[in-house]
Structure 1
């Protein structure tokens, strides 16, 4: 840069000398013009032309010298400045042209090396960010990061899938305003308060299920003990809890469910053998009860076998194309007598007569018989049960709606559990096994469909099944 400044100063001094010489010549000519009146016209013209040509040459030299300075020094500096501006904007691919190895060339080379280093640094950072993002999004657990002010700044795909939420509803909002579960909010507050790791098992009702999570709350503290925030990790242990609960409850539930019909059969058989069989009316009544309890026992065993078969890995459906409207009409015809016995109006509503889906005819019929029979069972006399078939583009929805007793909100997540009954006395009197809705859920999931429930106590229930066409 010192040589550059020296050359620039020399060029400017030269330019000034030329300008001063030109001005001197001009002044000299003007001064002498007072003495040129005595000269003839020819000499005056010669002197005038000589002066004009001299000044023209000086002007041309000044212009050429200025262009030379601009092209050699100013232009490279402008280009280097533009590249520097592009770098500040994040365009690390920008480069300046280097023609010479002088000072301006060295400046351009230095800026190009800087741009290349920045580009490589950004590329490395982007690769690391991509790896981190892939890891966070596919870690198999829900993750939430809350900054030091309590605002949610990150949620991953696992959390979105678990809680079925939209990122826009959570990001950059205070955690206690958007997280509905008080157990989770309390855990976050405890981490903020104690600045220590906290982990708890939390039971959360989600839609039609109850989910068990191990939630880890970890304080994030940076260098110099700077508080960064709280990281929450949600591990879904629902299946483990279900297996544990099934193992505990299966023997108790089965033995309890088998005990009632077996006790009835044994008791009435003993009574008949003790002499009641000689009374025809008593004999017929007791035998009817024994037959009813035998049917109930058979149904329970068949449901257990069906459920066990569905939970096996090799369970397959006999998939074929079927008309769902026709299938629903057949089911309603089968159950119409049961509805009429209670003066319940049972009707099918559909705008289309041909709604084709792919599925197992027998299994889907089992699903709808179960749901509609339940609706009739839990609907009081003079009520109504509606079956609505709707076409939703690529999907088909079937709504089974009744005007019955309804289900409490806290019981909805449990109704698809094995042996769970909303009203145990009513279910047992109606001959229910407590396995029907568990079978329905398994069959719908085997068809890659979905089942959901809407219900309020005293206002009836609505089961919604969605199947692909």
Structure 2
């Protein structure tokens, strides 16, 4: 109930009014009592003091008479107004000056039960007893009347006020204070409602605005109705909501960017909490690691790469680089802590697939080794024969001529290797310029067959050619495409045992033309079929060198066909031999592009 600010304001005002009226009432009552007390003793002082010596002298004169008590009583009755004597609250009593016993007075009944007070005792000792006590329920004065030191004729005039008037007045004051308190409480309640409306209504609006902001509604603006501190607070809140909206929009935009990048990036990313549990990952990470990552632990995934505790102890921007093999793929790992905060910290792992790079490095090393080997053999032969010719000038002419033929043949072989390497280099760097034009596809095949007819007869091969339907004109570089056809056909002639059969067929299929060269040789082993288009790769290296092959012909053929948006591939067919198929698109654009 009292958690409400309104009720707290009401309670505070009620406590304030009650406390104020209590203090005022206590002060008034105390002041009234003190006033009457001071007034009483002032009046008694004036009556029995030096300023009224005749009155005291009369009392002493009366005291020496035999009926002194009666005479004193007459004098007191005559001066009742001076002493403020009334039959209600204030009375006088005449006591024996030695024993303090009651003799006579204005209140006979009260005198019989009169108690001996400290002031009476003081008067018995011959002193005026006028000590006051604000806490007592009465006011009294005891004045000794002793003429000429004769204690036998001494009396005590005792004035006693029972404070009845003060009590009545205090009762009236209490009632007035209670009435004022009630009136004040009513006013305080009304004021509290007015104050609550002035203060609490803007606060309630601020609370409503805060709830809307917490729910994501930043468009709501609180109306400012005053220029006081609450109005300033309301303006500040509206400004804060606007700034918060802009900030959250920027954060959301950046988060969307990062989310998109995180989702579609090719590198894998996995984030772990401080206890080693997976908290974030992208699809690339699951694909690279070949496993589901949700709910996994660091030790199970990357435990062999680096200890998790050591990673958490790293100081940014330090990181650990490691490598891991998964399902035959080489993965490069970059592991680093992303925060030192106990609650938010953890480890981030970036995964980069370097399989192709490793393969490329291996191919580069193999390529360099192959080039070195291919060039070293003819260079060695050239040097050997040249040194022999230089060291033996008396060689027979026939031998010298044979040596020179070997030197020229090996030089041609080196030139052919270098030209093939330059051709592949131009393809790699996009510098090979093809001369596109329309040409008859069948005519180009005829030219290639005529070129290889004599070589086929020399090996005793039976070379057959057949077309399926009419071959159209195609758009391409005729010279380069004939180079491809010649390479495929010459391989069939070279690597088919003597007396074999080689069949060349061609036809159309939709918007493409195709050419197949089939032989009945020993074929290509299964483990070599995927690599025959690699550079310097040869199935039978010894036999290839004997026939003058470099292992680059099919690589060049593949590059030429790919530049024409076509394909060159091995065709799996039952029986011995090998079938190579070249497929090319027929049409092209006027600018020579496909």
Query: TM-score, normalization: structure 2?
Result: 0.41
Q: Does 1:424 align with 2:528?
A: no
Q: Structure 1: how far apart are the matches of 2:327 and 2:423?
A: 29
Q: Does 1:289 align with 2:406?
A: yes
Per the alignment, residue 421 of structure 2 pairs with 304
Structure with the largest fraction of helix: 1
String of CA shifts for 1:296-322, please: whole Å, max 9, x gaps.
Answer: 111111111111111113433211112
Correspondence 1:324-343 to 2 at 5 A: 324-343=441-460
Partner SS, residue 373 of structure 2: helix
Q: Does 1:315 align with 2:419?
A: no
Q: Which runs of 5+ in 2 are unaligned?
A: 1-256, 269-282, 303-322, 334-350, 587-594
Q: Does 1:438 align with 2:555?
A: yes
Partner SS, residue 305 of structure 1: helix
Correspondence 1:58-457 to 2 at 5 A: 196-197=300-301, 201=325, 239-275=356-392, 278-454=395-571
Partner SS, residue 530 of structure 2: helix
Using the TM superposition, give the Cα deviation of residue 139 of structure 1 relative to its aligned residue in structure 2, in angstroms.
Answer: 6.2
Q: Structure 2: how far apart are the matches of 1:320 and 1:360?
A: 6
Contact conserved, 2:471 with 2:508, CA < 8 A, in 1? no
String of CA shifts for 1:423-443, please: whole Å, max 9, x gaps.
Answer: 000001111111111111111
Using the TM superposition, give the Cα deviation of residue 203 of structure 1 relative to its aligned residue in structure 2, in angstroms.
Answer: 8.2
Cα distance 1:358–1:141, how it changes in 2: closer, same or farther (>3 A)? Answer: farther
Per the alignment, residue 96 of structure 1 pairs with none
Q: Structure 2: how far apart are the matches of 1:427 and 1:419?
A: 11
Using the TM superposition, give the Cα deviation of residue 324 of structure 1 relative to its aligned residue in structure 2, in angstroms.
Answer: 1.2
Contact conserved, 1:377 with 1:430, CA < 8 A, in 2? yes
Contact conserved, 1:444 with 1:451, CA < 8 A, in 2? yes
Using the TM superposition, give the Cα deviation of residue 294 of structure 1 relative to its aligned residue in structure 2, in angstroms.
Answer: 1.3
String of CA shifts for 1:242-280, please: whole Å, max 9, x gaps.
Answer: 431243233322111111101111111111222266302
- CA RMSD, Structure 1 to Structure 2 (Å): 4.0
Using the TM superposition, give the Cα deviation of residue 388 of structure 1 relative to its aligned residue in structure 2, in angstroms.
Answer: 1.1
Contact conserved, 1:407 with 1:456, CA < 8 A, in 2? no
Q: Structure 1: how far apart are the matches of 2:262 and 2:487?
A: 42
String of CA shifts for 1:165-223, please: whole Å, max 9, x gaps.
Answer: xxxxxxxxxxxxxxxxxxx99x669999999437964788xxxxxxx67599xxxxxxx
Using the TM superposition, give the Cα deviation of residue 454 of structure 1 relative to its aligned residue in structure 2, in angstroms.
Answer: 3.0
String of CA shifts for 1:323-360, please: whole Å, max 9, x gaps.
Answer: 11111110111111111101111122103343222111
Using the TM superposition, give the Cα deviation of residue 398 of structure 1 relative to its aligned residue in structure 2, in angstroms.
Answer: 1.1
Cα distance 1:385–1:189, how it changes in 2: closer, same or farther (>3 A)? Answer: farther
Contact conserved, 2:471 with 2:507, CA < 8 A, in 1? no
Contact conserved, 2:467 with 2:505, CA < 8 A, in 1? yes
Using the TM superposition, give the Cα deviation of residue 392 of structure 1 relative to its aligned residue in structure 2, in angstroms.
Answer: 0.4
Using the TM superposition, give the Cα deviation of residue 366 of structure 1 relative to its aligned residue in structure 2, in angstroms.
Answer: 1.1
Contact conserved, 2:332 with 2:354, CA < 8 A, in 1? no
Cα distance 1:252–1:192, how it changes in 2: closer, same or farther (>3 A)? Answer: farther
Cα distance 1:387–1:192, how it changes in 2: closer, same or farther (>3 A)? Answer: farther
Partner SS, residue 308 of structure 1: helix
Contact conserved, 1:408 with 1:456, CA < 8 A, in 2? no
Contact conserved, 1:406 with 1:457, CA < 8 A, in 2? no
Cα distance 1:266–1:377, how it changes in 2: closer, same or farther (>3 A)? Answer: same
Greater relative contact order (Cα < 8 A, sep 6+): 1
Q: Structure 2: how far apart are the matches of 1:441 and 1:316?
A: 16
Partner SS, residue 466 of structure 1: strand
Cα distance 1:390–1:215, how it changes in 2: closer, same or farther (>3 A)? Answer: farther
Q: Structure 2: how far apart are the matches of 1:138 and 1:390?
A: 43
Q: Structure 2: how far apart are the matches of 1:238 and 1:401?
A: 35
Q: Which has the larger radius of gyration?
A: 2
Using the TM superposition, give the Cα deviation of residue 365 of structure 1 relative to its aligned residue in structure 2, in angstroms.
Answer: 1.1
